[in-house]
Structure 1
Amino acid sequence: MSRSIKKVAVLGSGVMGSRIACHFANIGVEVLLLDIVPRDLTEYNKNKPASRNQIVNDALTFALKSKPSPVYDKSVSKLITTGNFEDDMSKIANVDWIIEVVVERLDIKKIIFDQVEKYRKPGTLITSNTSGIPMNLMSEGRSEDFQKHFCGTHFFNPPRYLRLLEIIPGPKTDPEIIDYLMHYGDLYLGKETVLCKDTPAFIANRIGIYAIMSAMHTIEDMELTVGEVDRMTGPIIGRAKSATFRTMDVVGLDTTVNVANNLYAGLPNDESKEAFVLPKIVKEVHEKGWFGDKSGQGYFKKSKDANGKRVIQELDLKTFEYGDRTKARFKALEAVKDEESLKARIKMLVNFDDKAGEFYRKTFYDTFKYVTYRIPEISDELFRIDQAVCAGFAWQMGPFDTWDLLGVRSVVEQMESMHLKPAEWVYEMLAAGHESFYKIESGIKKYYDIPSKSYKTIPGTEDLVILENIRETNKVWGNPGASIFDIGDGVLCLEFHTKMNAIGQEVIEGIETAISMAEKDYKGLVIGNEGENFSAGANLAMLFMFAGDQEFDEVNLMVAQFQNTMKRAKFSSIPVVSAPAGLALGGGCELSLHCDAIQAHAETYIGLVEVGVGLIPGGGGTKELTMRVADSIEGGDPELNRLQEAFMNIATAKVATSAEEARGMHILRPQDGITLNRKRLLTDAKAKVLELYEAGYTQPVERKNIKVQGRTGLALFEAGINGMLLGNYISEHDAKIARKLGWIMCGGDLTFPQEVSEQYLLDLERQMFVELTAEPKTLERIHSILFKGKPLRN
């Protein structure tokens, strides 16, 4: 199908509409955002004159100011044009895709569609972001061309961050339109696009809300507290940090209740529909109007104590009064506190013989049972259920994947003893000798296809680099902190697997080994992983020990080794590509800066943050940014202004909140790439390696012509530092760190601007770094991070 999306119209500028508009602007698409005209212009804006676009303009302004931000960079907002339904609906004739995001009322949607029919040009995509109104009701009575190009595109809020996009065909939707949207959402919007049937709440909310409501009944029966539940249902089992009750406060309890009530009313044949009946711990809170953040209180309440300090209280689920937060003191949780592997934790927790283990078994097994009965009702393929729940509710493992981990046959036996017998097709699968819902063959993950009673490849994954699928077959080297994989076509991939992927001796060894192996037998190297973070920085424990014992020669050797490894990455004879995602801080950022290219996930939070622990970037990060600023200056550009901006980014430990923002900070260069879909990141990084190799890769040589400003720059920095000190914006120790940083970036006490080498700047870096490790206040900062887990400003 020959179709491109250059301009989109978003009809409705509420929380979802304005943020959907922002996400399309994120990817460079022009957006026309429309909403209603205020009924009474004077009343709407009190005593100030209001415009006919007041509602849409206010909504967009509010979205752009909200946190977390819906845009990668504020500059993309210029791609959004606002208007109203009365004056500007005719402009939809010039767009390629119309997305309806008005209030969830069928009558109002039909009025909007009447207007769309007047102006929409034939062939234009028209979709609804409804979370539950059936497609057949919305498309009823519409023209043949409208129905052919109409379907549901259900984004999850916030659209920038939540990966799910459910695609729901209408009764007459052209299959080519569905194929196009599945592909577009994946490749360009960075979404996990999941094909759904037109059933109540589609897939993610049907399963996710069931899991929540089922858990609520269990929580009430087992008399668990809010604090206990949120400790058990968060990151410890691979779920969102907001866990259960905090999530409902953030989303709004009224939203959860409305979906649950609608599902109970709309699912007369659901064998488990009673789970959607509100238990007392939900009904009572809802009736009190305690919806969460939007009403000022929910399962948690923020207040201030007698000293004015902010206090967070939790709701007692028996008395419905607020009190001190409770802690989960279960043996199961204590047993897994040092276990880094999510899979190992889940196995231990579900099989533990205590109250927590009982809770996990009841809630997990009930969800397992429920999803088996939803096939083929909501989906013909089981993998779509896992995809939708993981992407929509931020689960790391879906129900079928989790069931596989625990052992399908043994869990079925336990489920039977708990009166949670799964659907018959599970027994048929086991009887046929198939012991799992998924299996990996030749590095490709396959799912059990119920109609054919065989395993089939998950569509769209055939050509992706997925380390989890080749972990047992393609690993060519490893130590406790790093592994190297052959990812095909003559390319290696180096993966870190330390805590937070911190860079220590094992990772350094991995980098050196991977480069040596690639230089000998391969075309190039990707450095990346499939975890939450690329790297949170250098491992500070060893540095703290040496610095605390005043072993400064050892500190110097450590920094020199790290610098040499960074140089190895930069000056190797093969292309090295970094693939950061999540956190890429400190040493993780420095490593990326030294690679031939960066292929970053759009949601990469990258920066040089060493100042936070009383240090300066000592692994070449200061040198690299100094060099990039010098290279970016043309003719009469204000050199010192650009240098000062880079200086402030390091001195304030600024972290780019997206890969696009990192471009403006000189961390990503124009030739570096950005991948929208996280699951494609390693594949795109591998393609970047091959692109560099096939273009005739030339081994870089050390630069000796980096222009530095000497005393001129030092004077400027000193004036700024003194001003910050006098204004009490920074401490004396902050000032000391900043002066050492400025010393490096200006090339030291040079009498005039001149050119220096990379090694010259590296030597300055190492000297300043070692000097700072001798400072007691630096050791205090490192101690606070290592032992208290929080930064100290002293």
Structure 2
Amino acid sequence: MAEIAKVAVIGAGVMGAGIAAHVANAGVPVLLLDIVPKGADNRNAIAEGAIAKMQKADPAPFMSKAAARLVTPGNTEDDLAKLADCDWIIEAVVEKLDVKQALYRRIDAVRKAGSVVSSNTSTIPLAALTKGLGETFARDFLITHFFNPPRYMRLLEIVTSPQTRPDALEAVERFADFKLGKSVVHCKDRPGFIGNRLGVYWLQTAVVEAFDLGLEVEEADAVMGKPMGFPKTGVFGLLDLVGLDLMPHIHASMTAALPKNDPYQQAVRDLPLIDRMLAEGYTGRKGKGGFYRLNRDGGAKVKETLSLKTGEYRPQQKADLDIPKDIKAQLASDTKAGRYAWAVMARTLSYAAMLVPEVADDIASVDEAMRLGYAWKQGPFEMIDRLGTEWFVARLEKDGLPVPELLRTAAGRPFYRVENGRRQMLGPDGAYHDIVRPDGVLLLEDIKRTREPLLKNGSAALWDIGDGVACFEFTSKLNTIDADIMALLAKATKLVARDFKAMVIYNEGTAFSAGANLGLALFAVNIAAWPILEQMITEGQAVYKGLKYAPFPVVGAPSGLALGGGCEILLHCDALQAHAESYIGLVECGVGLIPAWGGCKEMLHRWSTLGKLPKGPMPAVAKVFEMISTATVAKSAAEAKELLFLKPNDGITMNRYRLLADAKAKALELARDYVPPQEPEFVLPGESAAVAMGLAAESFHRRGLATKHDLVVSGTLAEVLSGGDTDVTRTLRESDVLALEFSRFQKLLHHPDTLARIEHVLETGKPLRN
């Protein structure tokens, strides 16, 4: 079938509205329909209300204001005929078979021939959904199970039937991959598919075992959180997030559909405390609270936790547990934490092994579903490999727990291995099979299996990624930028100039770069090593400038956070190919500093040449002052374009797995006839502009929106952006603005209130408002 050009979503609840918003994020018009509310004057009230609510939500379902304008609200009584214009119709209504089938009959009467219809169900089998609806409908139907929130969760589970047209599946899968940025996992038509079959079992087991072993909520979440490679919410925090009221519906559906001997059946049991919570409206974050709540009685804000032992709320406590960082040490530990970890994970990992090939043909699909659907750092089979299959089986047998056939098949072998540079997975047949990446997917982790780095130190590496393109990778904690990165980047620039066509700056961490390493800067301050700090700034300016004027193109490929110095390196690239979920900004003012590696200079140049502002130097200066002084961070790559952290011709990649390949292609395109950019010149307004910006900051201070030190920092920033003692009759060079950045940064670094801010951020992770 042709490309999907217009989509409809029926059901404007949290999931349906979120799916519609993400389709709009892809630049595709979408029709959002829901029922007509009884007695309402506005027949589109539900859909319109959902759109309005999403525009205020945080985290935001929309990537930009422009995306929101692509969603057209309507209702299922007046607007169903509009489905005739849609190529893909997504049903996201209540999980009741009769309701869904009645809707499908109405859809089938108006949709155009060859349009695809899919359900977002996670509990009803596909065979039941299409029963009695005819062969033509069955050929055009599939299940597309999104995870909440649809914008941020990268997993999409797809279920088809033998009747589903291959080209219908191909069209949806391609759209989901390239337009929505989803990793598509094919599931069999089994209850809960992959993610919820295993994920809900894990949650339920963790809750039951916490009660049985006498743990409190904080203790259970401390174990089933970051130390295990799970989200920091843990299990009880996650239940609060998704809503406790959802769980009984899932359990009822799953227990009705699964065989009586399935371990899921044994995991589900009545827990009187949770029954009471539901009856009293304690359903989690969307209710009055859940296992955690914020008590506002008497005007106070007290974080409280529900005690599993007393059933009453009490002030939140820190878990007093000894939790090893190594997963095997955790599970082997004969401590309260270790016994709980083993009780939960032994059953969860064993259950995962039971599900192949029942719910998926291979282990990689299960691991991908749990990584991207439940935000586990590693999938269950990757975790078993860390334990060792032989150790895990022996421990299961010792405790009298079931050992699934797949674990017997492994017979002490790992589930994953690398053979001749290719990653392979163990199949249910007992043989290893290559893991094949889709066309257009290039991952640095694969390259590392077959090649040695061209250059490497403790914080960075340079890799040959083929076709004359090199890739510079940060490897420090949170990819913070330090002297080692600067030194290697200087070496890399020379090597690439000699031996390559282009360079990409990219990594596969959760953050592209959290900025400069503040800990090292604070250490240097504390020992009064001012020459080291001066060298750090001057070298950074020189390295970034060298990157900008190198005789080859440089393409930045960020994903996740790109803050401070991480943003500044992107500003010095010739072009960017950014993942859609890139959060870019100059945030130095938050720690009492200003950008000093060329960030002020580059943003001034961009807003004076690319910004759609009134003529003259002041509008650009005022805009950059506003952005940097308030530590503005773009909440998507689309918003980064609006803020000119990305230039108009920079690219955005929706699928994270395709980012490196897209960046490499852009680099090769630029390399064909590359000419380094010309050095910019600046005409800045001078001292009068600095005074005006200072007055604006003072007004914020009087209204309680800026602190005393904010005035100091913003005043210093104003001196740089206005050009110091210049005026509009003079032309400044790039080096002049860099000199201003350097001198004013040094001035702030000597200020005790700045040092207090840096110390506070390093200790707490939160800004200090001093």
Please, what TM-score do these two structures have when normalized by structure 1? 0.93
2:228 to 212, 234, 237: 237
**Is the contact between residue 630 and residue 708 of structure 1 (CA under 8 Å) also seen in structure 2?**
no
1:617-671 deviations in whole A, cap 9, x for unaligned? 0010000000111112579647533431221010001111111111111100112
**Aligned counterparts of 1:352 and 1:680: Cα–Cα separation in 2:** 41
Once the two structures are superposed, residues 255-287 of structure 1 have per-residue CA deviations (whole angstroms, 9 ceiling, x without a partner) of 123212321222125431211234455455445
Task: Tell me, yes or no, if the aligned pair for 2:625 and 2:717 is still in contact at 8 Å.
Answer: yes
Aligned to 1:529: 507
- Matched residue SS, 1:606: strand
3-state SS, counterpart of residue 131 of structure 1 = coil
Cα deviation digits, residues 583-641 of structure 1 (max 9, x gap): 11101101111112222111111100000111110010000000111112579647533
In the TM superposition, what is the alpha-carbon distance from 1:442 to its structure 2 partner? 4.3
SS in 2 for 1:532: coil
1:538 aligns with 2:516: yes
1:8 and 1:461 map into 2 onto residues whose CA distance is: 25
Which deviations, in whole Å up to 9, do the C-alpha atoms of 1:53-103 show, x marking residues without a partner?
122211221122211110111221111111111111111111111111111
8 Å CA contact 1:603–1:657 kept in 2: the answer is yes
Are the counterparts in 2 of residues 576 and 597 from structure 1 also a CA contact under 8 Å? yes
Report the CA distance shift for 1:543/1:665 in structure 2 as closer, same or farther (over 3 A).
Answer: same
Q: Which runs of 5+ in 2 are unaligned?
A: none
Contact 1:15–1:63 (CA under 8 A) maintained in structure 2: no
Alignment-mate amino acid for residue 412 of structure 1 = V
Structure 2 residue aligned with 1:600: 578
* Secondary structure of the corresponding residue to residue 295 of structure 1: coil
Q: Please give the alpha-carbon distance, in whole angstroms, between the structure 1 residues aligned to 2:698 and 2:207.
A: 57
Deviation per residue, 1:431-489 (Å, 9 max, x gap): xxx712122234432222224x3222334346533233343542323222222222222
2:437 aligned with 1:460, yes or no? Answer: yes
What do the CA deviations read for 1:729-782 (whole angstroms, capped 9, x no partner)?
323322222222122222222232543221111111101111111222112111
1:130 aligns with 2:108: no
Q: Is 2:478–2:509's contact at 8 Å kept on the other side of the alignment? A: no
Tell whether the 8 Å contact from 1:35 to 1:84 is kept in structure 2 after alignment: yes
Aligned to 1:215: 206
Query: How far off its partner does 1:549 sit?
Result: 5.1
How many residues matched?
A: 768
Residue 663 of structure 1 is matched in structure 2 by 641
In structure 2, do the counterparts of structure 1 residues 600 and 442 end up closer, same or farther at CA, with 3 Å as the change threshold? farther
Partner of 1:650: 628
User: Is this contact kept in 2: 1:16–1:159, CA < 8 A?
Assistant: yes
Alignment partner of 2:757 out of 781, 788, 792: 781
Structure-1 residue corresponding to 2:340: 359
Name the residue aligned to 1:204: 195
2:701 counterpart (699, 711, 725): 725
Task: Output the CA distance in 2 between the equivalents of 1:103 and 1:353.
Answer: 45
Show the 5 A alignment for 1:496-511.
Answer: 496-511=474-489
Match runs of 1:295-694 below 5 Å: 295-304=287-296, 308-333=299-324, 336=325, 345-430=326-411, 435-451=413-429, 453-461=430-438, 464-476=441-453, 477-548=455-526, 551-632=529-610, 637=615, 640-693=618-671
CA contact 1:449–1:455 (8 Å) conserved in 2: yes
User: Which structure 1 residue ranges, 4+ long, deviate > 6 Å from structure 2?
Assistant: none
- Asked whether the equivalents of residues 548 and 779 of structure 1 are also in contact (C-alpha less than 8 Å), the reply is no
* Cα distance, 1:753–1:609 mapped onto 2, change above 3 Å: farther
8 A Cα contact 1:264 1:277, kept in partner: no
Aligned amino acid, residue 539 of structure 1:
N
After alignment, is 112-121 or 212-221 more displaced?
212-221
| Between 319-328 and 98-107, the greater mean CA deviation after superposition | 319-328
Matched with 1:700 is: 677
SS at match of 1:653: coil
Question: Do the aligned partners of residues 517 and 416 (structure 1) sit closer, same or farther apart at CA in structure 2, a change above 3 Å counting?
Answer: farther
Contact 1:139 1:170 in 2 (8 A): no
Letter in 2 for 1:682: L
Q: Is the 8 A contact 1:412 1:421 kept in 2?
A: no
- Cα distance in 1, alignment partners of residues 312 and 379 from structure 2: 35
In 2, are the aligned partners of 1:656 and 1:662 still within 8 Å (CA)? yes
Q: Label 1:753 to 1:411 Cα distance change in 2 as closer, same or farther (>3 A).
A: farther
Distance change (3 Å), C-alpha of 1:499 and 1:251: same
Q: Give the Cα–Cα distance (whole angstroms) in 1 for the partners of residues 14 and 288 of structure 2.
A: 18
Deviates more, 1:79-88 or 1:649-658: 79-88
1:293 to 269, 276, 285: 285
Say what the alpha-carbon RMSD is for the aligned residues.
2.1
Deviation at 1:392, TM superposition (A): 1.0
What is the aligned counterpart of 1:106 among 79, 97, 114?
97
Letter in 2 for 1:623: K
Q: Secondary structure at the match of 1:244?
A: helix
Q: What amino acid maps onto 2:228 in structure 1?
A: I
Query: In 1, are the aligned partners of 2:683 and 2:731 still within 8 Å (CA)?
Result: yes
**Distance in 2, Cα, partners of 1:489 & 1:399:** 36
For 2:181, what is the secondary structure of its paired residue? Answer: coil
Aligned-partner Cα distance in 2 for 1:279–1:14: 28
Q: In structure 2, do the counterparts of structure 1 residues 9 and 634 end up closer, same or farther at CA, with 3 Å as the change threshold?
A: closer
Per-residue CA deviations over 1:1-39 (Å, capped at 9, x if unaligned) read x52111111111111111111111101000111111122
In structure 2, what is the Cα distance between the partners aligned to 1:791 and 1:324? 24
Which deviates more, 295-304 or 175-184? 175-184
Q: List per-residue Cα deviations over 1:474-510 (Å, max 9, x = no partner).
A: 2323222222222222322222222221111122223
Q: 1:410 to 1:592 in 2, by over 3 A?
A: same
Distance change (3 Å), C-alpha of 1:714 and 1:587? same
**Post-superposition CA distance 1:414-444 (Å, at most 9, x none):** 11112223222332332xxx71212223443
Contact 2:357 2:428 in 1 (8 A): no
Quick one: distance in 1 between partners of 2:332 and 2:467?
A: 42
1:5 maps to 2:26: no
For 1:78, which of 59, 69, 72 is the aligned residue?
69
Q: Which residue of 2 aligns with 1:341?
A: none
CA contact (8 A) 2:684 2:723 kept: yes
How many Å separate the matches in 1 of 2:524 and 2:349? 51
Q: Quote the offset at 1:543 in angstroms.
A: 2.4
Identity %: 39
Alpha-carbon separation, structure 2, partners of 1:260 and 1:584: 41
Alpha-carbon distance between aligned partners in 1 of 2:257 and 2:748, rounded to the nearest angstrom: 66
Rounded to whole Å, the distance in 2 between the matches of 1:282 and 1:413 is 35
- Give the AA of the match of 1:205: N
TM-score (norm 2): 0.95
Q: Tell me how far apart the structure 1 counterparts of residues 241 and 614 of structure 2 sit (CA, whole Å).
A: 50
Query: 2:234 is paired with a residue of what secondary structure?
Result: coil
Q: Deviations over 1:314-351 (max 9, x none)?
A: 11112211113232223334xx3xxxxxxxx3344334
Measured at CA, do residues 635 and 357 of structure 1 come closer, stay the same or move farther in structure 2, by a change above 3 Å?
Answer: closer
Question: What is the CA–CA distance in structure 2 between the aligned matches of 1:714 and 1:312, rounded to whole Å?
Answer: 43
Closer, same or farther: CA 549–80 of 1 in aligned 2, 3 Å = same
Q: CA separation of 1:568/1:347 partners in 2, compared to 1, >3 Å: closer, same or farther?
A: farther
Runs of 5+ unmatched residues, structure 1: 42-49, 337-344
Alpha-carbon spacing, 1:723–1:214, altered in 2? closer, same or farther (3 Å) = closer
Distance in 1 between residues matched to 2:109 and 2:617, nearest whole Å: 55
Q: Secondary structure at the match of 1:136?
A: helix
